[in-house]
Amino acid sequence: MKEPNINILLAEDDENLGKLLWTYLKNKGFDVVLAKNGKLAYDLFNDPKNSFDFLILDVMMPEMDGFTLAKEIRELDKKIPFLFLTAKAMGEDKLKGFDLGADDYLTKPFSMEELLARMNAILNRSRAKKKVVGQKILIGKIPYEPELRMLHLTEGAKKLTTKENLLLRLLVKNQNELLDRQAALRAVWGDDNYFNGRSMDVYIAKLRKYLKNFIKVWLTMLLFVRLFAHLFVFDNLC
């Protein structure tokens, strides 16, 4: 059954199979981005311009294999559902996949109908979980649903990217307190290196843009840098 507004990241290095899967899923109403290797898939997932709801990951890929890719993505997003595609039917490989958090494991060759049925089953479970745990938090007068990654702005609902949501959730959790910059980087990016720090600055600027015209409250934001510690402090968004 067609699922509107479901964004899928498909990582498959086999050109023919990748195109076949892309075409089939597009025809079923999904929005699909195809990555031809694991490294490209990781870069696409980590790009702030992208927001994905479901992942299909081939296990054997160049640049970065599917298991490594899944592990790296799990560092960024603990909840996004995904399934593995593999030519291997070995039990230990399946166990490794499930240990990494996979929702399902499909061995090639497979039918498109079986893939779709498994995807819909996973998505239905994911939606059910979101309904149970969904909650709204007010940021000023703006309703924020962290589990759904939704900000309800005046002009309409805004779906946050995974990183935007993780960062905003962390800021809301620590509102009215100083938040150590390195701790925030490790919590959201898994590493507090320079390049991740620059990336976080970009995300903070995006969150400020979303919020500044609609609230008149103080929100924890990046304001200054100290020699030995970087701290978040409140900055007036008005």
Q: At what angle do helices 181-188 and 194-211 cross, to 10 degrees?
A: 90
* Helices and strands per DSSP (H, E), number in the chain: 8, 12
The whole-angstrom separation of Cα 166 and Cα 39 is 22
Judge whether 57 and 13 are in contact, CB under 8 Å.
Answer: no
26 lies in the same domain as 92: yes
Choosing from 133, 168, 192, the residue where a domain stops is 133
Choosing from 109, 133, 157, the residue where a domain stops is 133
Residue 2 lies in a domain: no
Six-digit token pair at 47? 């790009």
List the chain pLDDT tens, one digit each, 238 residues: 444 478 999 999 999 999 999 999 999 999 999 999 999 999 999 887 888 999 999 999 988 999 999 998 888 887 889 999 988 766 667 778 888 888 898 888 899 999 999 999 998 877 655 554 456 788 777 888 887 888 888 888 889 998 898 888 888 876 666 777 888 888 888 888 989 889 988 988 888 888 875 544 434 443 333 323 333 333 434 3
124 lies in the same domain as 180: no
112 lies in the same domain as 145: no
22 lies in the same domain as 94: yes
110 lies in the same domain as 12: yes
Cα dihedral 89, 93, 99, 102 sign: negative
83 lies in the same domain as 191: no
The whole-angstrom separation of Cα 108 and Cα 118 is 14
Domain limits at 68? 7-133
- The three-class DSSP label of residue 6 is coil
Q: Report the domain count for the chain.
A: 2
Choosing from 108, 133, 158, the residue where a domain stops is 133
